[in-house]
Amino acid sequence: MFSTKILLTASLLTACLPAALAEPLKVDFDEKLDNWRVVVDGVMGGRSTGSVDRNEPGFLQFSGDLSLANNGGFSQMRCDVAGDYFAGMRGIEITVRGDGRNYNFDVRCSNARVMAGGFQQTFTTKEGEWTTIRMPFEDFRLYSFGQRIPGVPAIAPAMIESIGVTLSDKKEGPFRLDVASIVAFSGETLGTVTVSDVTTLSRRSTLARLRGLIDSGERAPEAVSASACAGAVRLTELAISHGVQLFNDGQPAACAAIYEVTIEAMLALGADDLGDSVIDLLQDGLTKAKTEENSSTRAWTYRRVLDDAYRHLARQNKRGSRVAAR
Q: Are residues 293 and 158 in the same domain?
A: no
Residue 125 pLDDT = 95
**What is the arrangement of strands in the sheet containing 75-80, beginning at the earlier edge strand?**
37-40, 75-80, 160-167, 102-109, 117-124, 141-144, 147-148
The distance in angstroms from the start CA to the end CA of the chain is 61
Is the per-residue pLDDT at 184 higher than 70?
A: yes
Please give the residue range of the domain that contains residue 295. 200-325
Residue 3 inside a domain? The answer is: no
Q: Is the pLDDT of residue 8 over 50?
A: no
* Cα gap 107→182, rounded to integer Å: 13
Q: Is residue 193 part of a domain?
A: no
Residue 190 included in any domain:
no
| Residue 174 in domain | yes
- Looking at per-residue pLDDT, the higher value among 281 and 45 belongs to 281
Answer yes or no: are the C-beta atoms of 87 and 25 closer than 8 Å.
no
Higher pLDDT, 88 or 70: 70
For residue 293, the SS3 value is coil
Give the number of other CB atoms < 10 A from CB of residue 217.
Answer: 5
Which pLDDT belongs to residue 274? 79
Q: Verify that 149 and 213 share a domain, yes or no.
A: no
Give pLDDT, residue 198. Answer: 30
Residues 79 and 117 in one domain: yes
Residues 206 and 307 in one domain: yes
Residue 202 or 145, more confident:
145
Segment 274-290, tens digit of pLDDT = 788 888 899 998 889 88
What's the whole-number average pLDDT of the chain?
Answer: 75
pLDDT for residue 203: 44
2 part of a folded domain: no
Q: Please tell me the total count of domains within the chain.
A: 2
Verify that 30 and 162 share a domain, yes or no. yes
Q: Are residues 39 and 149 in the same domain?
A: yes
pLDDT at position 76 over 90: yes
Bridge partner list, 213: none
Is position 195 within any domain?
A: no
Instruction: Provide the β-strand partners of residue 181.
Output: 95
Last residue of a domain, one of 155, 185, 215: 185
CB atoms within 10 A of CB 155: 27
Higher confidence at residue 108 or residue 158?
108
- Report the sign of the C-alpha dihedral through residues 200, 203, 205, 211, in that order: negative
Q: Are residues 176 and 27 in the same domain?
A: yes
Residues 168 and 37 reside in one and the same domain: yes
237 lies in the same domain as 170: no
Domain boundary among 130, 154, 185: 185
On whether both 229 and 92 belong to a single domain, the answer is: no
208-267 pLDDT, tens digit per residue, is 544 554 444 333 333 334 566 777 787 788 778 777 877 776 777 777 877 887 888 788
Confidence of residue 118 (pLDDT cuts 50, 70, 90): very high
Residue 72 lies in a domain: yes
**Position 18 pLDDT exceeds 70:** no
Neighbours of 46 (CB within 10 A): 19
Q: Measured between alpha carbons, how far is 14 from 19 in angstroms, rounded to an integer?
A: 4
Question: What's the pLDDT tens digit per position in 160-181?
Answer: 999 999 999 999 999 999 998 8
What pLDDT does residue 205 have? 45
pLDDT of residue 139: 93
What CATH number should be reported for the domain holding residue 55?
2.60.120.430
83 within domain boundaries:
yes
Does residue 89 share a domain with residue 224? Answer: no
pLDDT at 226: 56
- Please tell me the predicted confidence (pLDDT) of residue 212: 52
Q: Are residues 110 and 41 in the same domain?
A: yes
Residue predicted with more confidence, 51 or 269: 51
Residue 66, classed as helix, strand or coil, is strand
Q: What is the pTM of this model?
A: 0.53
Q: Does the pLDDT value for residue 159 go beyond 50?
A: yes
